[in-house]
Amino acid sequence: MSAATGIGQAVHVRGLDKRFSRRGAENVVLEQLELTIEAGEFVSLIGRSGCGKSTLLELIAGLQQPSAGSIEVGGRAVSGPGPDRTIVFQQYALFPWRTALQNVMFPLEMAGSGRAERRRIARERLEVVGLAHAADRYASELSGGMQQRVGLARALACDPQILLLDEPFSGADAITREGLQQLLADLHRRFASTVVLVTHSVDEALRLSDRVVVLGGRPGRIVAEVRPSADRDDAAAQREQILALLGA
């Protein structure tokens, strides 16, 4: 867990509703959601499947639009994706025809950076995630954990203000997952980005976050917010509290 270092407000969600219509039936996923995430804060979203965690993340990313209400980032309404926000999914989504270095260079290409600048930044980001030695390897030559590290390096290439993570470590084995969690904590401290993590792991949320937001119900609503304690007994009680809210 790390302390929030930013000043001001990174994300403000007001009266958010999200509905989907299918075959004449309406599915309300999120209803009247209110959430503020401060700049530099690490917030985990946790809840049972179907409560709208990933939908909320994609709304913040601008990949979906609210049915009602609004989302603001840095005081501006979110109307679509932007360079200030980067999202990392569970799937590694690396381009198989590109090396690790070329994958990290991709968002810099889209931003119009020069070739020398792209290579310099991409190499720096690979070094940060411990993969400088694997710059010229293709995805098929990398383990799952290494591929996710490349994904994190790529996500940080353009220095986003907000890093959005949708269960990025859920497919990793326990040892790899612990290493990736430590890496994420280190990256948060180093880059001071606002981080929003969707996870099903209570332990992961409590370990990494400044604040754990618990979603529940259908449609999804915020049922609790927990600020992880450094005290072992308090942390154990918080874990049990969250598990009880999740019905686990």
Q: Which residue intervals of 53-173 are DSSP H helices?
A: 53-61, 100-110, 115-128, 144-155
Q: Does the predicted model carry a pTM greater than 0.95?
A: no
Say what the pLDDT of residue 4 is.
43
Please give the CATH architecture assigned to the domain spanning 1-84+160-248: 3-Layer(aba) Sandwich (3.40)
SS3 state at 167? coil
Closest-CA residue to 42 (of 150, 147, 181): 181
Banded model confidence at residue 171, pLDDT cuts 50, 70, 90? confident
Distance CA 220, CA 230 (A): 29
pLDDT digits (tens, 9 = 90+) for 51-91: 999 999 999 999 999 999 999 998 899 999 988 999 998 88
Which strands form 162-166's sheet, in the order they lie side by side?
Answer: 85-88, 162-166, 194-199, 42-46, 211-216, 221-226
Domain definitions of the chain by residue range: 1-84+160-248, 94-158
SS3 143: coil
Distance, CA of 248 to CA of 234 (rounded, Å): 19
Mean pLDDT score of the chain, rounded to an integer? 91
Predicted confidence (pLDDT) per residue in 218-227, tens digit = 889 999 999 9
pLDDT tens, position by position, 112-141: 899 999 999 999 999 999 999 999 999 999
In the block, which residue shows the tokens 């790390």?
2
Q: Indicate whether 197 pLDDT > 90.
A: yes
- Model pLDDT, residue 6: 47
- The string of DSSP codes covering 181-205 is HHHHHHHHHHH--EEEEEES-HHHH
